[in-house]
Amino acid sequence: MGVVLALAVLLVPGLVIGRQTTDFAAKAKALDAQVIVESKKSPQLLVNLTYLSDMIGPRLTGSPALVRANDWTADKMKAYGLVNVHKEPWLIPEGWERGYATGRIIDPDHGFKLSLASMGWSPGTAGKVEGEVVIFAAKESSELEAFRGKLKGKIILRGAPSKLTPIEEVDKGSLFADGLPKKDKDKAPKANFEGKMAFMKDQERFLQEEGVIAVLSDAGKHLGLLVTTGSWSTGDRPASTKKVASLSVAHEHYALLYRLASRPAPAKTRVELDVSNKFVPGPVKVYNTVGEIRGAERPEEFVVVGAHLDSWDLGQGSLDNGCGSCVVLETARILAKMQPPKRTIRFILFSGEEQGLYGSKAYVKQHEEELPRISAALVHDTGTGKVTGLGWMSNREALAPIMEAELGSIKEMGVTKLCIAGFGGSDHATFDKVGVPGCAFHQEIAGYRFGHHSQADTLDLVREPDLQQGTQVMAIAALRFANRAELLPRSAPKKP
Ligand SMILES: [Zn+2]
């Protein structure tokens, strides 16, 4: 029994209990039905995602395209009837523009052209450069010393090629087992992550000191797909701290380089690289787009519905996270047509997510005073696939019975798991850290492993019916939480 029903039992005498309870359930069901009818009525979701993908294009944090996307989404929110629509500025230390990246094998001298891409916020090379390719296999900071004095002027391969999942298996199973990325399932996720970050920093400093020309990593995907990621640490000016070009190489080409570099001496493998990227002097102003539907009874309390609008730039950012962004817009469009909810529903399209959830971190800092009045933060950020579950970051014991009571009806829509462990890699996690129940949807894979951060993240992979279902789940969940008697129970808030 949910808190709403428990209160009804306590406060309302006799026969009225039954009628009130039924009225409440019937009213909620009627709202669900209205959401579903509205979502099927208009092709707006796909129209929006097509415009965002094809006309605005990839939306790197700090880029003019992302600002255009901020303006366009703000206009959409206004057109749908949202109020308090605005762009909320925050700062990044430096912007970054991708230039070109070419590479070819010159020893053996067949001139094989390598397929590669710069990591985000990587510097370029000093024009056309040549270097010997060596394997660098350190996995923790204590192993770095063994390479001291051996890497000057070298192009290094970061370890052995990845063991890829067979291609016919890539789109099967689930992205997250029990809420955690599969490979980390058996490890303590926090220690694992923090240890890895510390090693990455030590390694970066070491390779720079040793005078390495470039670091090559395996893109780890099939059929020549590349990958990009990358960031800066808080407070860093990346242009002054990053001196070594960092590139991802198509898996098949990386494996070739690894085989060549594994040959015994005196065989040498040499590569020519020419990489050009540009840092944009900062601080650079970037924005989160914000708009809301005011609550009719408790406007000072909120439910946050969010997704990140920024993307990487090898593809169009359609899956990651044009899908989520357009689900948020579509949820706004539908809910704005309905009776105002009890609480305010605030729609936020974050930026800087891909570099470390920086936009949502800026948001909770700027809104510290409001945090105790936010009931939940709901996020859609795993591409186009159907929603199958609600992943909550913490306090699941208290949340589980409430989800069963409030959202039992969405099981019919294929959302069979209403309160499972959430993954940490999106903006809901920022809210959860400061005490606001944070939930990201678990979704079917639906091409996500191919598209994620690669040049295949395009409109082609989008499945409209799945996004329609995602919108229905988002709208229904947001409405239920906004209309609930109480805020959702929270864990102890920590300082942002
Ligand atoms: Zn994403």
For residue 463, the CA-to-ligand 1 centroid distance in Å is: 17
Q: 116, 248 in Cβ contact below 8 A?
A: yes
At 195, is the pLDDT very low, low, confident or very high (cuts 50, 70, 90)? confident
At 175, is the pLDDT very low, low, confident or very high (cuts 50, 70, 90)? confident
3-state secondary structure at position 71: helix
For residue 11, the CA-to-ligand 1 centroid distance in Å is: 45
For residue 308, the CA-to-ligand 1 centroid distance in Å is: 7
Query: Looking at this protein, which amino acid is placed at residue 64?
Result: P
Report pLDDT for 189: 54
Question: Measured in Å, how far apart are the chain's first and last C-alpha atoms?
Answer: 33
pLDDT at 7 over 80: no
Torsion, Cα of 207, 213, 217, 218 (10° steps): -150
∠ CA 88-93-99, rounded to 5°? 105
Closest CA to 69 of 326, 301, 449, 432: 326
For residue 322, the CA-to-ligand 1 centroid distance in Å is: 9
Main-chain dihedrals φ then ψ at residue 237, nearest 5 degrees: -105, 105
At 224, is the pLDDT very low, low, confident or very high (cuts 50, 70, 90)? very high
Q: 426, 379 in Cβ contact below 8 A?
A: yes
Report pLDDT for 93: 95
**What integer is the mean pLDDT of 96-102?**
98
For residue 382, the CA-to-ligand 1 centroid distance in Å is: 6
For residue 324, the CA-to-ligand 1 centroid distance in Å is: 8
Report pLDDT for 176: 74
Percentage of the chain beyond pLDDT 90 is 82
For residue 307, the CA-to-ligand 1 centroid distance in Å is: 8
- Average the pLDDT over each of 43-47, 271-275, 358-362, 419-423 and give the range with the smallest value: 419-423
Cα–Cα dist 435/371, whole Å: 8
For residue 163, the CA-to-ligand 1 centroid distance in Å is: 24
**What integer is the mean pLDDT of 223-248?**
89
Report pLDDT for 18: 53
- Average the pLDDT over each of 39-43, 72-76, 232-236 and give the range with the smallest value: 232-236
- Average the pLDDT over each of 17-31, 84-98, 276-290, 447-461 and give the range with the smallest value: 17-31
For residue 464, the CA-to-ligand 1 centroid distance in Å is: 18
Instruction: Give every strand in the sheet of 245-249, ordered side by side.
Output: 113-114, 95-107, 270-280, 128-136, 154-158, 214-218, 245-249, 116-118
At 232, is the pLDDT very low, low, confident or very high (cuts 50, 70, 90)? confident
Report pLDDT for 185: 46
Cα–Cα dist 14/28, whole Å: 23
Report pLDDT for 108: 97
Cα–Cα dist 451/456, whole Å: 5
For residue 152, the CA-to-ligand 1 centroid distance in Å is: 36
Closest CA to 374 of 481, 457, 468: 481
Report pLDDT for 196: 86
**What integer is the mean pLDDT of 123-134?**
97
For residue 445, the CA-to-ligand 1 centroid distance in Å is: 13
For residue 128, the CA-to-ligand 1 centroid distance in Å is: 34
For residue 420, the CA-to-ligand 1 centroid distance in Å is: 20
For residue 227, the CA-to-ligand 1 centroid distance in Å is: 14
At 172, is the pLDDT very low, low, confident or very high (cuts 50, 70, 90)? confident
For residue 62, the CA-to-ligand 1 centroid distance in Å is: 16
- Average the pLDDT over each of 28-37, 217-226, 453-462 and give the range with the smallest value: 28-37
Q: 302, 344 in Cβ contact below 8 A?
A: yes
pLDDT at 24 over 90: no
pLDDT at 339 over 50: yes
Closest CA to 146 of 198, 231, 210, 103: 210
For residue 354, the CA-to-ligand 1 centroid distance in Å is: 6
What does pLDDT average to over the chain?
91
Q: 468, 409 in Cβ contact below 8 A?
A: no
- Write the DSSP symbol of residue 491: P
For residue 161, the CA-to-ligand 1 centroid distance in Å is: 25
For residue 316, the CA-to-ligand 1 centroid distance in Å is: 13
Instruction: Tokens for 49, please give them.
Output: 């995602």
- Write the DSSP symbol of residue 415: -
- Write the DSSP symbol of residue 282: S
At 194, is the pLDDT very low, low, confident or very high (cuts 50, 70, 90)? confident
**What integer is the mean pLDDT of 167-171?**
91
**What integer is the mean pLDDT of 167-177?**
83
For residue 292, the CA-to-ligand 1 centroid distance in Å is: 22
**What integer is the mean pLDDT of 155-173?**
93
For residue 444, the CA-to-ligand 1 centroid distance in Å is: 15
Report pLDDT for 318: 98
Cα–Cα dist 9/488, whole Å: 19
Cβ count within 10 A of residue 107: 15
For residue 325, the CA-to-ligand 1 centroid distance in Å is: 10
pLDDT in tens, 248-278: 999 999 999 999 999 999 999 999 999 999 9
**What integer is the mean pLDDT of 285-303?**
98
For residue 419, the CA-to-ligand 1 centroid distance in Å is: 21
For residue 188, the CA-to-ligand 1 centroid distance in Å is: 23
